[in-house]
């Protein structure tokens, strides 16, 4: 969190010490994304989403298998002899 704060993506503040004393616990430190930090987070999530969609687009259900197989040109879906392929291992 300290690194994110140093680059300006997060701001922090300590809670009122009276609250923690009355509750008998250590003080809490609260963090909040800055505008720049929120934009960076949005970009990172969009990148992750694009990668996932590309992976999903490369996966197709193959008849006769128990799971998902990578599709490839010329693939018959017969598997490589692994679990769920119907072929001896």
Cα–Cα distance between 45 and 35 in angstroms, integer?
A: 15
Cβ atoms of 59 and 69 within 8 Å: the answer is yes
Domains of the chain: 2-59 (1.10.10.10)
Given phi > 0 = left and psi -120 to 50 = alpha, else beta, which region is 70? beta
Position 45 scores a pLDDT of 96
pLDDT tens-place string over residues 62-81: 666 666 556 555 555 444 44
pTM of the model: 0.54
Query: Per-residue pLDDT for 89 more than 50?
Result: no
- Other CB atoms within a 10 A radius of the CB of residue 12 amount to 12
């Amino acid at each position: 969190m300290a690194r994110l704060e140093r680059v300006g993506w997060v701001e922090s503040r300590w809670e009122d010490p009276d609250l923690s004393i009355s509750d008998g616990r250590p003080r809490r430190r609260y963090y909040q994304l800055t505008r720049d930090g929120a934009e960076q987070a949005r970009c990172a999530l969009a990148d992750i989403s694009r990668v996932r969609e590309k992976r999903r687009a490369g996966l197709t259900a193959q008849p006769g298998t128990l799971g998902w197989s990578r599709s490839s040109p010329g693939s018959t879906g017969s598997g490589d002899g692994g679990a769920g392929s119907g072929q001896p291992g």
